[in-house]
Structure 1
């Protein structure tokens, strides 16, 4: 085993701090790449800097600016198809947004939103049968998503904090878009009517949102109300888990700002 002195270590840290990447530093100083990463990790831990970043990057802890529209879109995705895991074998919490492979465009949009909200953290996609887990690690996940807690979402209270509600009020459509992209859809309904003694078939678009949590459905409908969207509760199989938007003017607004999954 080769031991490198403090002079080499400090030179490596100085190079990293000046913007050089780990691989270049390792080659320049003839030090294993893993050693350079370890030095960087220990230096960041000593300075209480977020793993994987060079500077603190938390809106709540450090006052760093937050991409509001991207955040509320990601919040909508999280409330529908997201999950935060507390650290066990990993050193920081992780968030996964599970999205169907039928909608690769939404997977891309989710990855882009995560990158905007966590610009200093790498994202990854974990392949699962029929879906992808869009994943990010950050010790500040619980700061930005305080809705995390024990038990499933519909078994605990889900309420936005004041600062979150202010962001949703300022960016209502991205929030609705995130919720629909996770637990909603745009479909074509049909019905029949008697016209002049002849039964005719009529088709019309409708937006569905289905979530077992009363609180999450309330967040969705409260936002629709503020946007002037007309909605109704729909009971299916005896359960009022469904919110329908079918009025022509309301569907037109949803089409303009949300649209079908893609």
Structure 2
């Protein structure tokens, strides 16, 4: 039988036995509640007591203050990843909290898949990246609660159905690393092809080949960002085709193609 001297205290010692949850665990539980889940169901799923979750709800503002986003250290890689995101990327909420960045990369370009994966790891080195095979492509995927801070263009609906504009701090990065943005946009929604034609020379028909770059996107804002950046780099371009679905921008003049070859090059 326990005596008063060796009987466990009900309050003080019990508090010492309560698990200490890290910030990410708390934010994940609060995210589930914010999506309409009951405290009871979240408690059963996570193993966290309802009392603890209820207490975190009261402290939600102090928690959010401790998780401010930081700017990326590798600004050149961020500019490249921004181009990939604007072209073929999207953000979505993760069921366990935070956000998932997905960038679609065609199976035909394994070098692009590797470059995209490396870019995500360099921008968010503390987070893991994994590849999700789809028909004809791979979704290069990374999880982080900070993605909306790094890509504030995220919002409801498709990118071409909403306004897309860079934040001042993003524009500063793009101004410092414009070719990386262009390379990301071309790698996601562009290509380098070789056109050919024939001419009669001294009575003989000869074949001539010439390379050109195309960029196609359905968002007027993203196309404007691409062409404005080309203008800043002295690259000549013209609108090759425009339909209800997308605009097609061509770079075909020899000097401009040479600039693109030096800084972008074909996908591989």
TM-score normalized by the length of structure 2? 0.74
- Using the alignment, how far apart are the partners of 1:180 and 1:196 within structure 2? 39
- Corresponding residue to 1:78 among 70, 82, 85: 85
How far residue 195 of structure 1 moved from its aligned partner, in angstroms, is 2.3
Does residue 1:93 correspond to 2:99, yes or no?
A: yes
List runs of 5+ in structure 1 lacking aligned partners. 14-36
- Using the alignment, how far apart are the partners of 2:245 and 2:154 within structure 1? 25
Cα displacement string for residues 75-113 of structure 1 (whole angstroms, at most 9, x for unaligned residues): 0000010010134x2311111001011111111111111
- Using the alignment, how far apart are the partners of 2:229 and 2:113 within structure 1? 24
Q: How does 1:1-262 map to 2 (within 5 A)?
A: 6=16, 48=63, 58-59=69-70, 65-87=72-94, 89-235=95-241, 241-262=247-268
List runs of 5+ in structure 2 lacking aligned partners. 1-13, 23-45
RMSD across aligned positions (CA): 2.8
Task: Check conservation: 1:98, 1:132, Cα contact below 8 A.
Answer: yes
Task: Check conservation: 1:57, 1:118, Cα contact below 8 A.
Answer: no
- Using the alignment, how far apart are the partners of 1:175 and 1:76 within structure 2? 5
- Using the alignment, how far apart are the partners of 1:214 and 1:236 within structure 2? 11
Alignment size in residue pairs? 222
Cα displacement string for residues 173-215 of structure 1 (whole angstroms, at most 9, x for unaligned residues): 1100000000001100012223234332211011111111111
Give secondary structure in 1 for the equivalent of 2:133.
strand
CA radius of gyration, larger in: 2
Cα displacement string for residues 201-258 of structure 1 (whole angstroms, at most 9, x for unaligned residues): 2110111111111111110011111111111110266876111111111111111111
Give secondary structure in 1 for the equivalent of 2:164.
coil
- Using the alignment, how far apart are the partners of 1:80 and 1:161 within structure 2? 17
- Using the alignment, how far apart are the partners of 2:113 and 2:93 within structure 1? 23
